[in-house]
Amino acid sequence: MTQRYIDSPWYGKIWAFLKQFPQGLAEGAKRSPATSGPAAAAIISAGIGCFLMMVAHHFSDADHSKTVETFLWNLGSWIPGSKNPSKMWGNIGSYTGKETMLLIGWLVSWPILHYLWKDRQIKAKTILFWFFALMIAATAMSWHPLFPYLPLT
């Protein structure tokens, strides 16, 4: 340790440590990963979460009794602003439940896919195909001019 490091204040020591931290990451690993399964699980699970959010959205729209929308609103009530009593700020509403479904789909599918694929080598083409297929499907489901012609009920 240099004298300058010892004499610096606590925040200076933290800053000196943080400046050195990325150097270890920049060096990289000594060898590349042997399998791509864990990375595939992380990427594809994000697409599954987005797709599940849009499925929940369309189920809540198709339900005329509003039981699904009420369920989703209660599911997402942990998000601040979901049920805001102030008329000035308004409510986020059942969208919080749809976002919660995204989180559930992502966080449940990731460990499952990771467990199934942890020792497998999955081609990059396969990973990208499923990720983009799920994202395109979720995007198409959010594009409302398409769905009056494809009713869900």
pLDDT tens digits along 47-90: 999 999 999 988 888 888 889 889 999 999 888 888 887 777 77
Query: For residue 130, is it within any domain?
Result: yes
Helix (H) or strand (E) holding 13: helix 10-27
Segments forming the whole domain that contains residue 104? 32-142
The two structure tokens encoding residue 79: 């998000």
**113 domain residue, yes or no:** yes
In-domain check, residue 43: yes
Question: Lowest-confidence range among 19-23, 51-55, 97-101?
Answer: 19-23
- Domain membership of residue 22 (yes or no) is no
Whether residue 18 lies inside any domain: the answer is no
Residue 84 covered by a domain: yes
Q: Is residue 19 part of a domain?
A: no
pTM of the full predicted structure?
A: 0.73
How confident is the prediction for the chain on average, in pLDDT?
Answer: 85
- The domain total for the chain is 1
Q: Which residue has the higher pLDDT, 126 or 28?
A: 126
